[in-house]
Each structure stands twice: as structure tokens, then as C-alpha cells.
Amino acid sequence: MNASSSENQIIEKPGHALKNPILHIAASFWEEDRLDAFKVCYDSMRSVDDLVDNLKSSGAFSDPSVRERTSAKIRKWVADPGTLGEKADSGTFKRTIAEFKIPFYPWTRLAKAMEYDVHHERFESMGKFLKYTRGAAVAPATVFLHLISLTRNGSVYQPGARELRPIARPLAVFSYMVHIMRDFRADTHGDLDYFPIRFKKEFNVTDLDISRAADGDQSRNFDAMVKRYWSVALRYFKRARREADIFSRELQPRYKFSLGLIQSMYELIFRRFEENNFQLDPDKINLDSSAALEVTQRLAQENNLPNEILENGLIRLGELIEA
């Protein structure tokens, strides 16, 4: 495939890291209205997630009154999504939910996870972490799968018949664990810690080990912990691939390609951990624009994606990289 003008927007900066959400990148190949629906939903979820992250990184987490005010904002947000007001207004959100027949439970699940975040600095165990992911990761993944499984009858959207949570869960947990390893250094410097306490104790990883690892000096104990964490993520990756292989048979080519793009991009990052001997160096782990283009082109060919869809998506992807 020859490089088009839209591809050149990406190739111009071959080492430019992709910091945009992979879900957003994959959704860039959808029709305009479905992409807009994704943006409304994702921005709504992102706003409350950012609210909690900012609470922890600002140093205000130690103040119980601030935590309670944050909890109150989350409860208000569940009652009327869009009330945080950063990106999406409540009216647009409600129209999107109605038009695209999107169930509301992902938002209530997300709110429960964020409420947990407000009152806990760490995860005690892997079990606690996995329960947390039901809202923090599975909720947005479920909305994504809902949108790609919709069929259209004239101007009316109809949801697919499948229960999506069992499909979304392994993919979301795998992706979230990849995020935690990929973003470890930045998160630690922002006073965010996602490795479970019992997990660290099992490998005798101390707070000093964590601090040094965030500065690029990983101890053997820390390496061993990351390797085990990676192996847990591998189990979810295999489950996610099985579920997605079955689910994707029911999808139109555009959406099968989109789901495959998510899997392939996360898998590429995931394999880089092992190739890098589990050194969590973002410069060696993160996807750059050249890798993203290569994966996109390969999957487009495998799925016989029409050139017009590929071209429009690559233009949007180029705009994401420039943003």
C-alpha cells in the first residue's frame, strides 16, 4: 500500500509517541455520528476519572473534607452525568444515550470504582484491584463494544443481542494492566500506586524499591514482581483474544477492524515489556506513530477495509497525534 497524504501526516513524525487513548484511536475509523457518541461517553467518564486522579496528585487526598466533597460530586454526576461540566453537557449526553440505546450501568459501575478511589490510596490485594476494574476499565470497554455491535435500521440503532460484560471484562482488565505497567513511572511520580500491597509484599518490594524504580533503577525484587504481574495479564490477554475472536464474527468489517486494532496495539505494548526484560522504560515501551501506522495498515489489509474508511480514519489519527 502506497503512503497517502493522510498516512504522511503520521509518517512525518516517526518517533512521535502516541499518548491518546487507544479506544479513541480505534474509534477514529467509525462513521461520524457513532464516533461523536463515543466521544460524548468517553469524555463523560474521563471527567470523573480526572477528578479523582487530580485529588490524589494534588496532595489534597489527606483532607477528609475534600474527599467527601469529591464523593458528593461523583454522586451528583451519576444522578445527572455531564454536571462536572468539563467537556460534555448533560443534554448532549442524554440524547446520545437515548439515540444509541446505551445502557446506563457502565456509569454506575464507574462511579462505584471512583468512590473506592476517593477513600483508598492503595489496593490491598489483586482481588480488590480486579473488583475495582469492573468500573474503572470494564465500564468504558462495555460502551465501546456496545457501539460497535449496534446495527442500523434506517435512522434507528438497535443493540446487539449479546451480553457484553463477559466479553469486555478480559479485554478491559488486560488493557488496564498494560496501562499500569506502561505508565508506572509517571503514575508513581504523581503519587499514584496501582500494584496491590499483598503483591508487593510477596516479592519484598518496598516503598524505596518503588521510588527507585520510578527513577529507572529497578531492583531484582521489583523485576520479579513485574514479571509475575505480566504473567497475570497474559492470562487475561488469552481470554480476551478467545472472546474477541468469537464476538468479532458478528461484526461488520469496519468494527471488526476497530476491535482488532485495540487488541493489536495493546499486544504490541505488552510484548515490549518482555522484550525489554520488564524494565518499565516508557521510551522503549510506548507506541510511536510509525508502529501505529504499521499495525493499522496490516489490519486494514487483513480485513479488506475499504480505502475510504482507512483514509478518513488515518486523517483523524493524524489529527490525534498532532493534538
Alpha-carbon gap, residue 304 to 180, rounded angstroms: 33
pLDDT-above-90 percentage for the chain: 53
The model's pLDDT over 195-210, given as tens digits with 9 standing for 90+, comes to 999 999 999 999 999 9
Averaged confidence pLDDT in the chain = 86
Alpha-carbon gap, residue 158 to 169, rounded angstroms: 22
Please give the average per-residue pLDDT across 265-273, as a whole number: 96
What DSSP assignment string belongs to 275-308?
Answer: HTTT---HHHHS-BHHHHHHHHHHHHHHTT--HH
CB atoms within 10 A of CB 271: 12
The contacts of residue 109 (CB under 8 Å, 6+ apart) are 134, 135, 138, 139
Alpha-carbon gap, residue 19 to 34, rounded angstroms: 22
The model's pLDDT over 8-67, given as tens digits with 9 standing for 90+, comes to 333 334 444 555 689 988 999 999 999 999 999 988 888 888 888 778 777 777 788 888
SS3 134: helix
Write a three-state SS string for 135-173: HHCHHHHHHHHHHHHCEEECCEEECCCCCCHHHHHHHHH
Instruction: Give 88's pLDDT tier (boundaries 50, 70, 90).
Output: low
